[in-house]
Amino acid sequence: MNVGKSIRLEKIFDRRTKKTVMVPVDHGITLGPVKGLVNIREVMRCATEGGANALIMHKGIVKDCYVNCPKTSGLIIHLSASTSLSVDPDHKILITTPDEALRLGADAVSVHVNIGSEKEDVMLKDAGAVSRECEALGLPMLAMMYPRGKNIHNQYDPELIAHVCRVGSEMGADVVKTNYTGDPDTFRQVIKGCSVPVIAAGGMKTSTDLELLERISGAMEAGSAGVAIGRNVFMHETPTLMVRRISAIVHDAVSPKEAMEIRS
């Protein structure tokens, strides 16, 4: 692997376990200042204190907030965007370049591609261009790969998840983030079909903490390289505690019930 990429990947993956707990806080463009992101500086501080290996955010938040945040969590700048107000929210466009992200201090960048979208071709072309530039810059690329579009009836279908992850690896991603299929056996097959590390997305807000932790435990059992948990962290009443519990499962292989016993 590119030396620059190898060095930077160590900033977003734990050196001991080779796993990662990422906390995305890039939802503001899509959803606006939703619960938990009104005071984004505070939730970033909480995630960092909880032991998050990396934070994912847009460039404007880097300038306004990350510069004043403790630098124990790596920085991933998200290049893609769309809003829930759009006539086609599944069409993600590039609003930042790898070069700009690097100049802002990024340890990695992320792109979002919705396979099955009417604009799939545009997103694939953009992601390919980002991959080429990242290779030249020694900058790791995280590809957020999802099956989404009018003909996609179940975005958690294991075969669809396996397909989109394979697309991500073949277009040059260093790490792929995708939906957890719901059980370790099927997610294990997803991981086997992808030549780069796969991390599980947190998805929508769960009804209980234990439900989320069981999902994370299943993903790790399947061989996931980690997780990226957004809403279930920044919408939580105690984000720091939630990140600590997640980290205990990812890095120390504790059970969900044992993780729930962590109180501070």
Residue 77 CB partners (closer than 8 Å, separation 6+): 56, 57, 58, 59, 62, 96, 101, 104, 106, 108, 109, 110
Q: How far is CA 104 from CA 130, 169, 259, in A?
A: 16, 26, 35
For the chain, helix, strand, coil in percent to 5 are 45, 15, 40
SS3 148: coil
Catalytic choice (5, 11, 19, 26): 26
Neighbours of 168 (CB within 10 A): 30
Q: Where do the structural domains in the chain lie, given as residue ranges?
A: 3-260
Query: What are the structure tokens assigned to 56, written together?
Result: 């994912």
In 3D space, the residue among 12, 106, 103 whose CA is nearest the CA of residue 53 turns out to be: 12
Query: What are the structure tokens assigned to 38, written together?
Result: 């009104």
Residue 64 CB partners (closer than 8 Å, separation 6+): none
Q: Kindly state the DSSP code that residue 79 receives in the 8-state scheme.
A: -
Neighbours of 6 (CB within 10 A): 12
> If you average pLDDT over each of 56-70, 99-113, 192-206, which comes out highest?
99-113
pLDDT at 56 over 80: yes
26 is catalytic: yes
Catalytic choice (11, 177, 180, 209): 177
180 is catalytic: no
Per the document, the length of the chain is 264
Mean per-residue pLDDT, 174-188: 97
pLDDT at 67 over 90: no
Amino acid type, 105: G
pLDDT class of 204 with cuts at 50, 70, 90: confident
pLDDT class of 66 with cuts at 50, 70, 90: confident
Given a contact cutoff of 8 angstroms between Cβ atoms, the answer to whether 36 and 43 are in contact is yes
Catalytic choice (146, 174, 180, 209): 146
146 is catalytic: yes
pLDDT at 206 over 90: no
The domain 3-260: what is its CATH number?
3.20.20.70
**Paired residues of 94 in beta bridges:** 80
Q: What pTM value is reported for the model?
A: 0.96
Q: How far is CA 120 from CA 115, 123, 149, 180, 249, in A?
A: 6, 5, 9, 21, 35
Quick one: CA dihedral 113, 117, 123, 127, positive or negative? positive
SS3 103: helix
Provide the pLDDT for residue 157. 97
* CA gap 24, 206 in Å, rounded: 16
